[in-house]
Amino acid sequence: MTKTIMLANPRGFCAGVDRAIAIVERALALYGAPIYVRHEVVHNRFVVEKLREQGAVFIEDLQDVPHGATLIYSAHGVPLSVRQQAEALGLTVFDATCPLVTKVHVEVKRMHQAAMSIVMIGHKGHPEVEGTMGQVDSGMFLVETVADVATLQVPDPTALSYVSQTTLSVDETRDIITALKQRFPLITSPKKDDICYATQNRQDAVKALSDACDIVIVVGSPNSSNSNRLREVAALRGVDAYMVDNASLLQAAWFDGKQQVGVTAGASAPEVLVQAVIAQIKAFGADSVSELPGVEEHIIFALPPGLRDK
């Protein structure tokens, strides 16, 4: 029985991840090691280890950063308290927060200034959620599921709005928003959908891939929210779906009896890992590779001032 590998399109790095990695690499080139990065700059083990080898030091607590050193915020964003602490420590700061996450931060501040309570749809403990909820000192409420909406208590249902973590499942978020609107009919939506273009495109691509395949492999690290959502999207369409950090985690038994093998990658997973996965699946018996058509992405986010080429 022959096996064919089908590649999702688009897959892998998005503009926000490209920018975040470039910020760390450019800072290392201009200022030399060590460059301190608050949290993993993007959620991919391979990328983080490669930057660590170049001299990046990943920390969670700013107390671990020497006075006057150079600090980079991860693509997930940070609470205002972290920015204030960095200023007090006299750090040189470059912000690698994805501009689409920054957009949500701006929405939160606008809603707060309008005296609204704000519901955050997201996953507790995720750095993007902590950063977004940390843009204001009060009046934010986290919901993770439709069930959470049923027990949510807010001060004034007539002065309520919501925002979303950018890397969630589009379908899951839609269900939560529907539940919010049913329970709080006057809730205000953000000016634009918070789910980022790359998340939307990759989820649409994995749906098309799932319809054409009987197994889907998602390349991504365990702590990558958008990679986890891709695996869930495929699984919910009735396809065997697995997420792997690298090719060594693939198991030959997964592919027994499978003819159409789909491969995609989360927005923080580099193409080199995808190619290694393809090579391993070929070793399991796949004899051809094709790429599905999909949305072409042309978005580029500029580097911060101070890191741009002269």
- Domain-by-domain residue ranges, the chain? 3-13+197-291, 15-98, 100-183
Written as one string, the DSSP assignment of 19-61 is HHHHHHHHHHHHH-S-EEEES-SSS-HHHHHHHHHHTEEEES-
Q: What is the pLDDT of residue 16?
A: 97
Chain segment 87-131, per-residue pLDDT in tens: 999 999 999 999 999 999 999 999 999 999 999 999 999 999 999
Identify the architecture of domain 100-183 in CATH: 3-Layer(aba) Sandwich (3.40)
In the chain, what percentage of residues exceed pLDDT 70? Answer: 99
Q: What is the pLDDT of residue 194?
A: 79
The chain-wide mean pLDDT, for the chain, equals 96
Fold adopted by 15-98: Rossmann fold (3.40.50)
Tell me which residue of 274, 251, 276, 272 sits closest to 263, measured CA to CA. 274
What is the Cα Rg of the chain in Å? 21
Fold matches, 3-13+197-291 and 100-183: yes
Tell whether the model's pLDDT for residue 303 goes beyond 90: yes
**Confidence category of residue 1, pLDDT binned at 50, 70, 90:** low
CA angle 171, 177, 178 (to 5 degrees): 90
In whole angstroms, give the CA distance from residue 105 to residue 124: 17
Helix (H) or strand (E) holding 164: strand 160-164
Fold adopted by 3-13+197-291: Cobalt-precorrin-4 Transmethylase; domain 1 (3.40.1010)
Q: What is the pLDDT of residue 191?
A: 82
Q: Mean of the pLDDT values across residues 175-186?
A: 97
Q: Which residues are catalytic?
A: 128
Q: What is the pTM of this model?
A: 0.95
